[in-house]
Structure 1
Amino acid sequence: MMMTVGEFLQRVEDHLSTSGVAPTRFGITVANDPNFVRDLRSGRVPNLELAGRVIAHIKAAEEAAPLADAPSAPEVAA
């Protein structure tokens, strides 16, 4: 899926707001760069390899996180 730089930044921002991960922590994790998100916000354009790594990380985090809207399993009385 192709996306614009603006769509990429929005995807990162959405992930940060829903996951609660700090921008600095996210940047260190995905790019080994604590300023990664700040630089994106300032107009940095990541290369395709890095952008792919970032999107893969976000997708993996979304798949691993429990869905907030999913109904919880009923409790079983002991």
Structure 2
Amino acid sequence: MHSCIDLLGREVSTYGCPYRARGVVVGETYNTFLILVGNRVVAVPKRLCRFYVYDLGLLVRGTYLVGYRDRRLFNCGAF
């Protein structure tokens, strides 16, 4: 299930959204991912974007990732 994917520390790029970013996810809030792009951190809204996860080879719809990371992963049995 796509909501069970933890993107923290993974290299991602945005796809199909107005925010273009490629970098490592260094944090997240309820509605955004914080992505380290070069030497700056950008906030990208989850709901508006899809995220390509390089090491998994997956394209994940951001609407599945809206919510707090710990709650989302706990509900999947990851904790």
Higher share in helix: 1
* Common fold: TM-score over 0.5: no
Higher share in strand: 2
Larger Rg, first or second structure (1 or 2): 1
Query: TM tier, shorter chain?
Result: under 0.3
TM-score (norm 2): 0.27
